Amino acid sequence: MDSHTETLALREQFETPSQQKEASAMGMWIFLVTEVMFFGGMFLAYTVYRKAFADVFSIASNTLNVVIGAVNTGVLICSSFTMVLAVRAARIGSRRLLILFLILTMLLGTAFLGIKGYEWNQKFQEHHVPGATFHLEGTAQQGPAELFFSLYFMMTGVHAAHMVVGVGILMTLLFQTFAGKYGAEYYTPVDMAGLYWHFVDIIWIYLFPLLYLIGRHHHLHG
Protein backbone atom coordinates (compact mmCIF):
# COMPACT_ATOMS: atom_id res chain seq x y z
CA MET A 1 0.00 0.00 0.00
CA ASP A 2 1.27 3.46 -0.81
CA SER A 3 1.91 5.67 2.17
CA HIS A 4 -0.04 8.88 2.49
CA THR A 5 0.82 12.02 4.37
CA GLU A 6 -1.13 12.12 7.59
CA THR A 7 -3.59 14.99 7.93
CA LEU A 8 -6.55 15.66 10.21
CA ALA A 9 -8.84 14.64 7.36
CA LEU A 10 -6.91 11.44 6.69
CA ARG A 11 -5.22 9.67 9.58
CA GLU A 12 -2.72 6.94 8.94
CA GLN A 13 -5.08 4.07 9.76
CA PHE A 14 -7.71 5.03 7.16
CA GLU A 15 -7.73 4.48 3.40
CA THR A 16 -9.81 7.49 2.43
CA PRO A 17 -11.15 10.64 4.15
CA SER A 18 -14.73 9.45 3.64
CA GLN A 19 -13.92 6.14 5.35
CA GLN A 20 -12.51 8.07 8.30
CA LYS A 21 -15.59 10.25 8.48
CA GLU A 22 -17.86 7.24 8.27
CA ALA A 23 -16.04 5.71 11.25
CA SER A 24 -16.51 8.91 13.27
CA ALA A 25 -20.19 9.10 12.41
CA MET A 26 -20.67 5.44 13.33
CA GLY A 27 -19.02 6.00 16.72
CA MET A 28 -21.16 9.07 17.34
CA TRP A 29 -24.39 7.29 16.47
CA ILE A 30 -23.51 4.37 18.75
CA PHE A 31 -22.95 6.88 21.56
CA LEU A 32 -26.32 8.47 20.76
CA VAL A 33 -27.96 5.04 20.89
CA THR A 34 -26.62 4.61 24.45
CA GLU A 35 -28.10 8.03 25.21
CA VAL A 36 -31.45 6.88 23.82
CA MET A 37 -31.37 3.97 26.28
CA PHE A 38 -30.35 6.30 29.12
CA PHE A 39 -33.27 8.66 28.53
CA GLY A 40 -35.48 5.69 27.58
CA GLY A 41 -35.35 4.41 31.17
CA MET A 42 -36.68 7.72 32.45
CA PHE A 43 -39.39 7.91 29.80
CA LEU A 44 -40.39 4.39 30.78
CA ALA A 45 -40.54 5.27 34.50
CA TYR A 46 -42.65 8.31 33.63
CA THR A 47 -45.05 6.18 31.55
CA VAL A 48 -45.44 3.51 34.24
CA TYR A 49 -46.12 6.02 37.03
CA ARG A 50 -48.36 8.16 34.85
CA LYS A 51 -50.50 5.09 34.31
CA ALA A 52 -50.46 4.18 37.99
CA PHE A 53 -51.35 7.71 39.22
CA ALA A 54 -53.23 9.12 36.21
CA ASP A 55 -55.34 11.67 38.13
CA VAL A 56 -52.51 13.18 40.19
CA PHE A 57 -50.15 13.29 37.22
CA SER A 58 -52.78 15.16 35.24
CA ILE A 59 -53.34 17.71 38.03
CA ALA A 60 -49.59 18.16 38.42
CA SER A 61 -49.02 18.43 34.67
CA ASN A 62 -51.66 21.15 34.44
CA THR A 63 -49.65 23.37 36.81
CA LEU A 64 -46.82 23.54 34.25
CA ASN A 65 -46.68 26.65 32.06
CA VAL A 66 -47.54 25.45 28.52
CA VAL A 67 -46.66 28.80 26.91
CA ILE A 68 -43.14 28.74 28.35
CA GLY A 69 -42.76 25.10 27.32
CA ALA A 70 -43.89 25.84 23.75
CA VAL A 71 -41.68 28.93 23.46
CA ASN A 72 -38.70 26.95 24.70
CA THR A 73 -39.43 24.23 22.13
CA GLY A 74 -39.37 26.96 19.47
CA VAL A 75 -36.05 28.31 20.78
CA LEU A 76 -34.53 24.84 20.65
CA ILE A 77 -35.78 24.23 17.09
CA CYS A 78 -34.26 27.59 16.06
CA SER A 79 -30.95 26.46 17.59
CA SER A 80 -31.11 23.19 15.61
CA PHE A 81 -31.66 25.24 12.44
CA THR A 82 -28.62 27.46 13.14
CA MET A 83 -26.61 24.33 14.03
CA VAL A 84 -27.36 22.67 10.71
CA LEU A 85 -26.42 25.92 8.97
CA ALA A 86 -23.13 25.90 10.91
CA VAL A 87 -22.38 22.40 9.61
CA ARG A 88 -23.29 23.56 6.10
CA ALA A 89 -21.03 26.61 6.45
CA ALA A 90 -18.16 24.32 7.42
CA ARG A 91 -18.95 22.03 4.50
CA ILE A 92 -18.79 24.88 1.96
CA GLY A 93 -15.66 26.21 3.64
CA SER A 94 -17.03 29.51 4.90
CA ARG A 95 -15.25 30.25 8.18
CA ARG A 96 -17.11 33.52 8.64
CA LEU A 97 -20.54 31.83 8.45
CA LEU A 98 -19.37 28.94 10.62
CA ILE A 99 -18.35 31.35 13.37
CA LEU A 100 -21.63 33.27 13.02
CA PHE A 101 -23.84 30.18 13.24
CA LEU A 102 -21.84 28.60 16.09
CA ILE A 103 -22.32 31.80 18.10
CA LEU A 104 -26.04 31.97 17.24
CA THR A 105 -26.52 28.33 18.27
CA MET A 106 -24.73 28.95 21.57
CA LEU A 107 -26.90 32.02 22.23
CA LEU A 108 -30.11 30.11 21.50
CA GLY A 109 -28.97 27.20 23.68
CA THR A 110 -28.20 29.62 26.49
CA ALA A 111 -31.61 31.27 26.01
CA PHE A 112 -33.25 27.88 26.40
CA LEU A 113 -31.36 27.31 29.66
CA GLY A 114 -32.30 30.78 30.88
CA ILE A 115 -35.99 30.18 30.24
CA LYS A 116 -35.68 26.77 31.91
CA GLY A 117 -34.04 28.40 34.93
CA TYR A 118 -36.89 30.92 35.16
CA GLU A 119 -39.37 28.04 35.07
CA TRP A 120 -37.52 26.09 37.77
CA ASN A 121 -37.40 29.19 39.93
CA GLN A 122 -41.19 29.44 39.68
CA LYS A 123 -41.46 25.86 40.88
CA PHE A 124 -39.44 26.78 43.97
CA GLN A 125 -41.76 29.70 44.69
CA GLU A 126 -44.86 27.52 44.20
CA HIS A 127 -43.44 24.80 46.52
CA HIS A 128 -43.54 22.31 43.66
CA VAL A 129 -39.99 21.12 44.30
CA PRO A 130 -39.88 17.66 45.94
CA GLY A 131 -38.76 17.93 49.52
CA ALA A 132 -39.88 19.03 52.98
CA THR A 133 -41.88 22.07 51.79
CA PHE A 134 -43.54 20.33 48.84
CA HIS A 135 -47.23 21.00 48.40
CA LEU A 136 -49.49 20.61 45.37
CA GLU A 137 -52.95 22.17 45.54
CA GLY A 138 -56.02 20.21 44.44
CA THR A 139 -55.09 16.70 45.52
CA ALA A 140 -54.79 14.72 48.72
CA GLN A 141 -52.16 12.41 47.22
CA GLN A 142 -49.03 14.41 47.88
CA GLY A 143 -46.72 11.41 47.43
CA PRO A 144 -47.57 10.68 43.78
CA ALA A 145 -47.63 14.44 43.10
CA GLU A 146 -44.12 14.65 44.44
CA LEU A 147 -43.22 11.72 42.20
CA PHE A 148 -44.41 13.65 39.14
CA PHE A 149 -42.21 16.60 40.03
CA SER A 150 -39.27 14.30 40.83
CA LEU A 151 -39.55 12.92 37.31
CA TYR A 152 -40.08 16.42 35.91
CA PHE A 153 -36.92 17.76 37.55
CA MET A 154 -34.88 14.67 36.75
CA MET A 155 -35.84 14.59 33.09
CA THR A 156 -35.65 18.33 32.38
CA GLY A 157 -32.54 18.52 34.58
CA VAL A 158 -30.63 15.79 32.78
CA HIS A 159 -31.75 17.30 29.48
CA ALA A 160 -30.51 20.74 30.58
CA ALA A 161 -27.19 19.16 31.66
CA HIS A 162 -26.86 17.86 28.11
CA MET A 163 -27.52 21.38 26.85
CA VAL A 164 -24.77 22.78 29.09
CA VAL A 165 -22.37 20.17 27.72
CA GLY A 166 -23.52 21.04 24.20
CA VAL A 167 -22.83 24.75 24.71
CA GLY A 168 -19.38 23.81 26.04
CA ILE A 169 -18.69 21.72 22.93
CA LEU A 170 -19.79 24.59 20.68
CA MET A 171 -17.51 26.98 22.55
CA THR A 172 -14.58 24.60 22.03
CA LEU A 173 -15.44 24.37 18.32
CA LEU A 174 -15.62 28.15 18.13
CA PHE A 175 -12.10 28.56 19.54
CA GLN A 176 -10.80 25.83 17.23
CA THR A 177 -12.44 27.57 14.27
CA PHE A 178 -10.75 30.83 15.27
CA ALA A 179 -7.48 28.88 15.33
CA GLY A 180 -8.18 27.78 11.76
CA LYS A 181 -8.61 24.08 12.45
CA TYR A 182 -11.72 23.57 10.29
CA GLY A 183 -12.26 24.01 6.57
CA ALA A 184 -14.12 22.36 3.71
CA GLU A 185 -11.75 19.35 3.71
CA TYR A 186 -11.99 18.64 7.46
CA TYR A 187 -14.89 19.59 9.73
CA THR A 188 -15.87 16.21 11.23
CA PRO A 189 -16.06 17.52 14.86
CA VAL A 190 -18.52 20.22 13.74
CA ASP A 191 -20.61 17.54 12.06
CA MET A 192 -20.52 15.29 15.14
CA ALA A 193 -21.39 18.17 17.48
CA GLY A 194 -24.35 18.79 15.17
CA LEU A 195 -25.54 15.20 15.63
CA TYR A 196 -25.32 15.60 19.42
CA TRP A 197 -27.14 18.94 19.38
CA HIS A 198 -29.99 17.60 17.23
CA PHE A 199 -30.26 14.52 19.45
CA VAL A 200 -30.74 16.72 22.51
CA ASP A 201 -33.39 18.60 20.51
CA ILE A 202 -35.20 15.31 19.81
CA ILE A 203 -35.28 14.46 23.53
CA TRP A 204 -37.00 17.78 24.22
CA ILE A 205 -39.40 17.16 21.30
CA TYR A 206 -40.70 14.23 23.38
CA LEU A 207 -40.39 15.84 26.82
CA PHE A 208 -42.56 18.80 25.84
CA PRO A 209 -45.77 16.91 24.92
CA LEU A 210 -45.29 14.22 27.59
CA LEU A 211 -44.77 16.60 30.51
CA TYR A 212 -46.76 19.66 29.45
CA LEU A 213 -49.51 18.62 27.04
CA ILE A 214 -50.99 15.15 27.39
CA GLY A 215 -52.42 15.70 30.89
CA ARG A 216 -54.51 18.70 29.93
CA HIS A 217 -57.81 16.90 29.35
CA HIS A 218 -57.58 13.99 31.71
CA HIS A 219 -61.00 13.07 33.11
CA LEU A 220 -60.62 12.58 36.83
CA HIS A 221 -61.90 9.35 38.27
CA GLY A 222 -62.98 10.89 41.58
Distance of closest approach, residue 17 Cβ to another protein, in angstroms: 9
37 touching another protein, by CB under 8 A: yes
Backbone φ and ψ for 78, nearest 5 degrees, come out as -60, -40
Give the type of residue at 36: V
Distance of closest approach, residue 133 Cβ to another protein, in angstroms: 30
Interacting residue with another protein among 117, 138, 143, 209 (CB under 8 A): 209
C-alpha gyration radius of the chain: 21
CB 149 within 8 A of CB 122: no
x/- letters, 6..35, toward another protein (CB under 8 A): ------------xx-xx--xx--xx-xx--
List, in sequence order, the alpha helices (H) in the chain: 17-52, 54-61, 66-91, 95-125, 142-178, 188-207
Q: Given the rule CB under 8 A, which residues bind another protein? A: 18-19, 21-22, 25-26, 29-30, 32-33, 36-37, 40-41, 43-44, 47-48, 51-52, 66, 70, 73-74, 77-78, 80-81, 83-85, 88, 91-92, 194-195, 198-199, 201-202, 205-206, 208-210, 212-214, 216-217
